[in-house]
Structure 1
């Protein structure tokens, strides 16, 4: 099976062609969104709908500290709640994923409620895959075949249903892929399984207020970067582009308001909706080079992956150059530019990132020059490169990181 991303059905249209001369297949998986003061009331109804009776919360230590917000989730679940795994760690390290898998098994869970940010979402998703498949992760993850292509095995076992109650605007809500970090080798082990996709997201204002503004900002930068990269993808899908374009507009509108009104749930909830749209849109366009590089560089930095990804974005747009020329016009229009050139887009993105207080050099976020070679090697094995307008070789990847350093 050719290595898939979290793509759920989009097929490419020929660049520059209209619907009258090409074709489009856009398949959206079932997904339910609830938002507002009473959104948590949907959880028991959703569990009943699937006849689930033994739900386990998966979260991290930072969420446990917010007893009032977490208490709202626990009370909403009531008798359905049988346990709480709160050992989630940043970048979803393999030992933690294995611990979460064992916790689900020990509590005979039949549903998972993910509470927190992207690491919690990915940890839960990967844990359910390992639990169901019952094999070592290296037998399940994406690898290169003898021809050098990234391939993913089919993971056929049924998976536990999941719902997400997020604390940050992560694009991971509705994805089907999981990236687990092996702390011993530094590798990112990618699992792809549509059956691990969450059934829905519950946006609760109290939970939205638990994350520090700096963490919300960093996650929103991932939303922004993924939208920009998705709009440059080789996959041309007007439905996905609509999601991505509005997600981009929402981040530009609401991220500055997070700074002026950090104690309000309103900008946070709007950023979460932007994250959902960016995640759904990029499900059909896949990721890109900035995302792949940030996956490799992020754990080697002192910054959140979203900040790393945004920092790298202007360099990636420049690298894509003429390869994304057919997409630059639309991106420039979405950004409100009259000049439809890569340089104009890069300039606009740089100005917006300056407003968002994004550093401009990798060295400023703790990345060592000696880390760049290994990071470049690991990035080339990242499945998100599959739809990048221009896929780099090792020399180009290292050169791009060096320029950003």
Structure 2
């Protein structure tokens, strides 16, 4: 008879409000009133700003509370653009932030809010290695309240961290502050349709990968597992529909809801090896981070298989597989990734072989690498990256 699982858990659910569907945008002014905010600033990417109809509806509901729009967000949230967003918030005396767009908008808004509140150099605020350990400094200053109006699905909605790219060194500087977590998300059908279908597709691959890695955690948390499991099933059901029916909002809204579940669930399970490696590889590739993470996922699963066979068997059950062996569930994930049209090799997405050593070094300093069920040594990462290339 198997032993009973240890159910001593600590599961804290941060306050987070979700509005979805017709009339969802009408929640924004009520939310601002709730926190007493009167000077909201939008932070978005230029491509979203160019959608006059969708952005016009956001402007209309915000009314005179909207005091400015920063549309200088860049892919991977490079530090110079984050600094410009911080200055924009300060110049407009913002008391609330609305991130509109995808992951880069969300991360840039969060990072700019942290830099504004702390008023210190980013390297004094970011996670760093001290005596062989990764340490995140406590950031105590108040932060502006934020909301997200997404154009694509991303697990970043629900997170409290932000990683910005230092273009001079190639490093990802990770900032973490629970006070910078968004108050909530507003899922609007019109805004969801502004994203190119391939962008929604690539973003959803991050949801899938994060759910699968979260479900391999050594932590036993049925509440987190429930969120991750439904996120996984939602992606499997709805992701193919995004490319088949690009003019339909329903598949995109379903994936946005899955993004919330995967983001919240993985807050409790932790990240994983594929996530950490994708952070290091993404800026050195021609593919979005979601594609990179999905490409790496089966390789990370094989690396972890011997230490979490029971967790992989559970993933097989969630996917409805008769074969619950590690090989069986990894083969099914590979089949799904083929259905999702994910490339198989790093060289297929523009990663240069000479950049692999730099990737390994940066991955070892990524916070997510500490959360996997089998923390890798540097040689393990080097072997995995080389084998995937």
User: How far, CA to CA, are the matches of 1:400 and 1:133 in structure 2?
Assistant: 38
Q: CA deviation at 1:22?
A: 3.6
Q: CA deviation at 1:101?
A: 0.3
Q: CA deviation at 1:64?
A: 1.2
Pairing of 1:206-355 with structure 2 (within 5 A) = 206-355=190-339
Question: What SS does structure 2 have at the residue aligned with 1:201?
Answer: strand
User: How far, CA to CA, are the matches of 2:64 and 2:128 in structure 1?
Assistant: 42
Q: CA deviation at 1:398?
A: 1.1
Question: What SS does structure 2 have at the residue aligned with 1:323?
Answer: coil
Name which of 67, 75, 84 aligns with 2:69: 84
User: How far, CA to CA, are the matches of 1:303 and 1:318 in structure 2?
Assistant: 23
The alpha-carbon distance between structure 1 residues 17 and 129, as it changes in their structure 2 partners (threshold 3 A), is farther
Q: CA deviation at 1:394?
A: 1.4
Instruction: Identify the residue that residue 106 of structure 2 maps to in structure 1.
Output: 121
Contact 2:238 2:251 in 1 (8 A): yes
Does 346-355 or 320-329 show the bigger shift?
320-329
Q: Does 1:392 align with 2:353?
A: no
Contact 2:7 2:220 in 1 (8 A): no
Instruction: Identify the residue that residue 7 of structure 1 maps to in structure 2.
Output: none
Q: CA deviation at 1:37?
A: 1.8
User: How far, CA to CA, are the matches of 1:291 and 1:171 in structure 2?
Assistant: 12
Q: Which runs of 5+ in 2 are unaligned?
A: none
Instruction: Identify the residue that residue 183 of structure 1 maps to in structure 2.
Output: 167
Question: Could you give the per-residue CA deviations for residues 317-360 of structure 1, whole angstroms, max 9, x where no partner exists?
Answer: 01112112231121110111112111111100000000000000
User: How far, CA to CA, are the matches of 2:80 and 2:7 in structure 1?
Assistant: 47
User: How far, CA to CA, are the matches of 1:159 and 1:135 in structure 2?
Assistant: 14
Instruction: Identify the residue that residue 43 of structure 2 maps to in structure 1.
Output: 58
Instruction: Identify the residue that residue 124 of structure 2 maps to in structure 1.
Output: 139
Question: Could you give the per-residue CA deviations for residues 101-136 of structure 1, whole angstroms, max 9, x where no partner exists?
Answer: 000000000000000000000000000000000100
The alpha-carbon distance between structure 1 residues 18 and 66, as it changes in their structure 2 partners (threshold 3 A), is farther
Question: What SS does structure 2 have at the residue aligned with 1:359?
Answer: coil
Instruction: Identify the residue that residue 347 of structure 2 maps to in structure 1.
Output: 363
Q: Which runs of 5+ in 1 are unaligned?
A: 1-15
Does 78-87 or 314-323 show the bigger shift?
314-323
User: How far, CA to CA, are the matches of 1:187 and 1:81 in structure 2?
Assistant: 34
Question: What SS does structure 1 have at the residue aligned with 2:308?
Answer: helix
Name which of 44, 47, 64 aligns with 2:32: 47
Q: Does 1:373 align with 2:357?
A: yes
The alpha-carbon distance between structure 1 residues 119 and 17, as it changes in their structure 2 partners (threshold 3 A), is farther
The alpha-carbon distance between structure 1 residues 51 and 17, as it changes in their structure 2 partners (threshold 3 A), is farther
Question: What SS does structure 1 have at the residue aligned with 2:257?
Answer: helix
Instruction: Identify the residue that residue 33 of structure 1 maps to in structure 2.
Output: 18
Question: What SS does structure 1 have at the residue aligned with 2:212?
Answer: helix
User: How far, CA to CA, are the matches of 2:351 and 2:4 in structure 1?
Assistant: 44
User: How far, CA to CA, are the matches of 2:165 and 2:10 in structure 1?
Assistant: 33
Q: CA deviation at 1:235?
A: 2.0
User: How far, CA to CA, are the matches of 2:341 and 2:310 in structure 1?
Assistant: 30
User: How far, CA to CA, are the matches of 2:137 and 2:243 in structure 1?
Assistant: 44
User: How far, CA to CA, are the matches of 1:76 and 1:18 in structure 2?
Assistant: 52
The alpha-carbon distance between structure 1 residues 17 and 84, as it changes in their structure 2 partners (threshold 3 A), is farther
Instruction: Identify the residue that residue 115 of structure 2 maps to in structure 1.
Output: 130
Question: Could you give the per-residue CA deviations for residues 70-125 of structure 1, whole angstroms, max 9, x where no partner exists?
Answer: 11111110010000000000000000110000000000000000000000000000
User: How far, CA to CA, are the matches of 1:70 and 1:300 in structure 2?
Assistant: 32
TM-score w.r.t. length of structure 2: 0.98
What is the aligned residue count?
388
